[in-house]
A and B are shown apart, each in its own frame.
Chain A
């Protein structure tokens, strides 16, 4: 059973920078997993932020950036704003049409 791990929560000050990570229970995350990132606020559908590790989805501000850091995928929010307070999920593509969501990170801006 593949488990994709994320930090449960992060707190960031307005204007600050935070980096969320996405790791595999066994092995390293690489671009071959096509890491993608999604933002979700309570009661709303997810919003696509990043795909293929670092490509921003249409309309996503450049405050959001994706990368590989060490053996994990990473999402960095630069210049955090109050409305960035959300849950963030990474997704890894395992091949053959199968995806695994990360456990999710709750980001608080205060």
Chain B
């Protein structure tokens, strides 16, 4: 069964850093583009970042550009999100989501909670 498991969330002070991980299993990870999607408490879903299968191409939402870095290690079947200069508005559940050639998310992790607060 295809599975995505996020980890690395937690409480961090404003201005701090955090690194999220997403472990993939039961599919050929390198063949798929991947994304991070987040959801602030009581709010809607927001696309955060995209990475190609090789890792050579990345895109970011304007709200995180210059502060967040998406990366992947295909040898470890893992996706990452390095989050720097964190703000209170970055608080929320972060999901990793598998992308498809048909431009949609076909598989989601269960999410990891990031709280930015002093």
Within 8 A of A (CB), among B1-54: 33, 35, 37, 44-47, 50, 52
Closest A-B pairs by Cβ, 8 of them = A36-B104, A51-B104, A97-B50, A34-B103, A93-B103, A97-B59, A104-B44, A99-B47
Indicate whether A57 sits within 8 Å of B106 (C-beta atoms), given known contacts A97-B52, A97-B59, A99-B50. yes
23 A–B contacts from the bound complex (CB under 8 Å): A34-B102, A34-B103, A38-B45, A38-B105, A40-B45, A45-B108, A46-B95, A46-B108, A48-B108, A51-B102, A51-B104, A51-B106, A52-B102, A52-B103, A57-B106, A89-B45, A91-B104, A93-B103, A97-B50, A97-B52, A97-B57, A101-B44, A101-B46
Would A34 and B44 count as touching, CB distance under 8 A? no
Q: In the assembly, what is the distance between CA of A88 and CA of B28, in Å?
A: 29
A82 in the interface (beta carbon within 8 A) = no
The total number of A-B Cβ pairs within 8 Å is: 68
Interface status of A103 (Cβ within 8 A of chain B): yes
Q: In the complex, which residues of chain B have a beta carbon less than 8 angstroms from the beta carbon of A47?
A: 108
